[in-house]
Amino acid sequence: MSDAPLQTEFEFTLPQGYVDDDGTVHKDGRMRLATAADEIQPLNDPRVQENSSYLTVLLLSRVVTELGTVEEVTPEVIESLFVTDLAYLQEMYDRVNDGSTDFAEITDHEELLSGVDAESGNPQVR
């Protein structure tokens, strides 16, 4: 058993970046580990009940705690991401929350994107 403290937040750099209304590009951010509530509560949201794909948007808006100088990471911010960035965050979410990834060994976003098709930004089937 390790005496190392549990890492609950992880820094990232988006491949493209979120472009706000002023044209500022925000690439650097932080994501925290998800809680059970993060995965359960969005299921009651009417947008998720209407379209299950919206679950990803709500989950990411809950666990992405910082994105550049954006005041609050809302579902609307996540909706405005480029597909490549959304896929990047989805992959990071999966890896952070499966408990088997040692993030201290990941040195750049290329390794995190290893499961994302470079042209389309879509996750690759493994």
Look-up of token digits 């088997």: 100
Q: pLDDT tens digit string along 16-48?
A: 999 999 999 999 999 999 999 999 999 999 999
List of residues 6+ apart from 38 with CB closer than 8 A = 59, 62, 63
The residue extents of the domains of the chain are: 9-115
What stretch of H or E contains 113?
none
The pTM of this model reads 0.76
- Beta-sheet strands, E only, within 20-113: 25-32, 64-67
Q: pLDDT tens digit string along 45-66?
A: 999 999 999 999 999 999 999 9
